[in-house]
Structure 1
Amino acid sequence: MREDIVRNYEAAKELYGKYDIDVDQALQALEHIKISIHCWQGDDVRGFLFQDQELSGGISVTGEYPGAARTPAELRQDLEKALSLIPGKHKVNLHAIYADTEEKVDLDELAPRHFQTWVDWAKQQGIGLDFNPTCFSHDKSKDGFTLSHPDPDIRRFWIDHCKAARKIGAYFGEQLGQTCVTNIWIPDGYKDVPVDRLAPRQRLKEALDDIFSEPLDPAIHLDAVESKLFGIGSEAYVVGSHEFYMGYGIQNNKLICLDAGHFHPTEGIAGKLSALSLFTEGILLHVSRPMRWDSDHVVTMDDELIEIGRELVRNGLLEKTFIGLDFFDGSINRVAAWVIGTRNTIKALLRAMLEPTEALRQAEHKGDYTTRLALLEEFKSYPFGAVWDYYCAKMGVPVREQWLEEVKAYEQQVLVQRGHLEAEPSAFGLNVGQ
């Protein structure tokens, strides 16, 4: 390891140590945190089952940056590159449309065998897998309804798909020895104000009861349900609202998914984590970055991400929170998007671990809000970066922006070759850092 990295780290340890912050212990804890990296950033949410199907369900990806994965093998190759630049061992989150099979199979017919190559690859990489039924971009979801559809035959199709997804998720957990979280999100809703808000929610509740009727071993599989405030095509009413799923999840002991982009554009989710933790055994957290709506921008180190990290660390919620990412951007290098978003999420947790939480808590309990504010502000300029650099070096991944050079090289060697594009350095903004 470079001498300057070690020297800066030791100096940082001394500063943090004045407030009894054990930096070494923080890094040991960080090493065991697994982020579930979403596969759909790599190909713009197209998947491989129905590649000619238009995106639906309020999902839109903009940009035509070269190199989107066209096959499961290419997607795994890109994920490997991203994982090699991110410190720690993590998980990959799959949607059902990413099945790796030559069979002509519909969503309700999917089985573990259609994902065997993913399981074999995950074993080789030493990572876990999470899963999601894909309740969008399908002929049977064109009118905007799936599990709450008024047609019982269409509703049965989606129920059977979600049941199949749970079995696939349980297979992942069993084979990989890591609990798989299977998360259900549906786009169901109305563009304009409905007369009957209750009936679709009654149908959704009955459908979920049917889906979850078969108990699965929680050691290998956990169910989650994900809400949304509104989306494109469901601006006025979403069947699976936050209130609906919070009630259902608490009543039926399911993980409740909080997605950073699924609430009002001015509403943060950090403060919801401690409240929800009092009533649930676990939480699924989707880290995203909304911009005026649920636009799923690449996660940056913004105030909301920092607050999410603080809420998880300060309240000891890391052991009961499953952290996943959910963003997609086709206008930039897709591998770089994974690396930026995942590294930022890990950084936010480390920053929280390096705050004088106990001193802050004591000051707050005494009513000494002056000290609380002063310490919070001063610690913003403490040498967090020196600790992060050391952690990256220790974990064998590039320090600071050095990872970008590897991504640029990979882009020229692999990504621009897809679709027979010429590797022209100036064509895609490749002069950064040159």
Structure 2
Amino acid sequence: MSKADQIKSSYDNAKSVFSEMGIDTEVVMQQLNDISVSMHCWQGDDVSGFENPEGELTGGIQTTGNYPGKATTPEQLRADIDVAMSMIPGALRLNLHAIYLESDEYVERDQIKPEHFENWVQWAKKQKVGLDFNPSCFSHEMSADNMTLSHPKEEVREFWIRHCIASRKVSEYFGKELGTPSVMNIWVPDGYKDVPADRLAPRKRLMESLDKIIAEPISKKYHKDAVESKLFGIGTEAYTAGSNEFYMGYAASRDVMLCLDSGHFHPTEVISDKISSASLYVNEMLLHVSRPIRWDSDHVVMLDDETQAIANEIIRHDLLDRVSIGLDFFDASINRIAAWVIGTRNMKKALMRALLEPTDQLRTLENDGDFTSRLALLEESKSLPWSAVWDYYCFKQDVPVGASWLDQVKQYEEEVLLKR
């Protein structure tokens, strides 16, 4: 039996199993195909960007490792992204930071324009993917003390306000050119290393700065604003102005998207449990799916309990039209393309498993108070043959099945990455 016949035979058996539970695997594959996951460009070059590639990361951001083959030019980065995307099934987007602009001369952050990202737009049109965006409020002389939009000095705040306003114009440009709204996420590293005397004033300044940034209306047909909290960072261990409570209130009161990053909370907190609560108060959410190990260390996403729980919450509560899914990790200790493929495929796998869950049966048992059967069905559903559906889905999408993609990555590493 050929490999293709084996994949099809396993799928047919799985299809029958799920059909007995009232789940149509053909419908599930089509649903999954329509769910976009936004890959992050900064995995490919360790968050260096092209403004000043030799610049040092600041603002609580670190990348560790020196695996060979890091992209050092826009052309190399786009080529690497092409390779990664060719191994991932379904709809994809690409998330850019402002420092990934392209210009023959230095462009100050508050002077970035759509023209500096024209090559990315042309690439996106060719690849038929949408683009998302982020102002880069870190690794700059004006962010050296870990204060930007909440800085006590007006001239510093105004600089970053101008940068974020310019970034909104870039994001709007993406949406108009590509026919899909660009989600622009604002995260700032603002905070203190030690206990502050005044917790309120920085938050008032941050709120006022954000209000200035979003003052000009932009159609959500092209651009969507998002704001992202953080518990702490390197250099801001004691206090961050942009806490979860701050941004929850801000997003709800200003009708902007709330970004929940799975690495930005206490090690015992998870964002999966926050999604349903936040959905009651904010119209839309952005998720940054990452994997923290004791702190916001942005490890490659695994198909672990929390990744699965995030996917389950989105699917169980029918939030696909209100939640945008993005990834945020950067590991320089392994092949960077492999990191993209592993993390993005795992997010897609989690979504497929969630779509294949017998949610209606589980909800009925719960409402009937039959918690014994609910637990039993939840546990039994974990061993259902979802992987056979995943393999068949990859086969139909003409992307590598199983771990066969790794051979292609290794070949690309030998022929391209190791020669850089």
Shorter chain as denominator, the TM-score bin is over 0.9
Whole-angstrom CA distance in 1 between matches of 2:218 and 2:196:
36
Whole-angstrom CA distance in 1 between matches of 2:103 and 2:125:
19
**Cα drift, residue 50 of structure 1:** 1.5
Residue matched to 2:57 = 55
- Give deviations 1:205-235, integer Å, cap 9, x for gaps: 1100100010001011000000001111111
Residue matched to 1:13 = 15
Is 1:91 aligned with 2:84? no
Whole-angstrom CA distance in 1 between matches of 2:271 and 2:7:
35
- Give deviations 1:261-303, integer Å, cap 9, x for gaps: 0000111110111111111111000000000000000000111
2:178 aligned to 176, 179, 189, which one? 176
Whole-angstrom CA distance in 2 between matches of 1:50 and 1:205:
30
Q: Which secondary structure does the structure 2 equivalent of 1:319 belong to? A: coil
8 A contact 2:66–2:333 mirrored in 1? yes
Mapping for residues 108-127 of structure 1, pairs under 5 Å: 108-127=110-129
Whole-angstrom CA distance in 2 between matches of 1:88 and 1:357:
23
Is 1:385 aligned with 2:390? no
Whole-angstrom CA distance in 2 between matches of 1:310 and 1:143:
40
Is 1:308 aligned with 2:299? no
Letter in 2 for 1:203: R
**Cα drift, residue 103 of structure 1:** 2.5
Residue matched to 2:260 = 258
1:146 aligned to 145, 148, 159, which one? 148
Whole-angstrom CA distance in 1 between matches of 2:14 and 2:55:
52
Residue matched to 1:186 = 188
1:238 aligned to 237, 240, 243, which one? 240
Whole-angstrom CA distance in 1 between matches of 2:251 and 2:52:
31
Whole-angstrom CA distance in 2 between matches of 1:153 and 1:365:
57
Whole-angstrom CA distance in 1 between matches of 2:160 and 2:371:
52
Letter in 1 for 2:254: N
Whole-angstrom CA distance in 1 between matches of 2:65 and 2:281:
41
Whole-angstrom CA distance in 2 between matches of 1:411 and 1:136:
31
2:77 aligned to 70, 75, 78, which one? 75
Whole-angstrom CA distance in 2 between matches of 1:269 and 1:197:
25
- Give deviations 1:129-174, integer Å, cap 9, x for gaps: 0000000000110011000111111111100000000000000000
Whole-angstrom CA distance in 1 between matches of 2:162 and 2:417:
37
- Give deviations 1:11-48, integer Å, cap 9, x for gaps: 10110111101111011000001100000000000101
8 A contact 2:40–2:328 mirrored in 1? yes
2:204 aligned to 202, 205, 208, which one? 202
Q: Which runs of 4+ in 1 moved over 4 A?
A: none
Residue matched to 1:429 = none
Letter in 2 for 1:282: E
Whole-angstrom CA distance in 2 between matches of 1:85 and 1:169:
27
8 A contact 1:182–1:222 mirrored in 2? yes
**Cα drift, residue 198 of structure 1:** 0.6
TM-score by length of 2: 0.99
RMSD over equivalenced CA pairs, Å: 0.7
8 A contact 2:182–2:223 mirrored in 1? yes
Q: Which secondary structure does the structure 2 equivalent of 1:381 belong to? A: coil
8 A contact 1:89–1:126 mirrored in 2? no
Residue matched to 1:37 = 39
- Give deviations 1:74-109, integer Å, cap 9, x for gaps: 000000000000001310000000001112211000
Q: Which secondary structure does the structure 2 equivalent of 1:323 belong to? A: strand
8 A contact 1:37–1:93 mirrored in 2? yes
Whole-angstrom CA distance in 1 between matches of 2:121 and 2:341:
22
- Give deviations 1:159-216, integer Å, cap 9, x for gaps: 0000000000000000000110000000000001000001101110110010001000
- Give deviations 1:106-138, integer Å, cap 9, x for gaps: 100000000000000000000000000000000
1:281 aligned to 257, 280, 283, which one? 283
Whole-angstrom CA distance in 2 between matches of 1:6 and 1:385:
12
Whole-angstrom CA distance in 2 between matches of 1:24 and 1:210:
47
**Cα drift, residue 57 of structure 1:** 0.5
Is 1:347 aligned with 2:352? no
Residue matched to 1:272 = 274
Q: Which secondary structure does the structure 1 equivalent of 2:224 belong to? A: strand
Q: Which secondary structure does the structure 1 equivalent of 2:259 belong to? A: strand
**Cα drift, residue 52 of structure 1:** 2.4
TM-score by length of 1: 0.96
Is 1:320 aligned with 2:322? yes
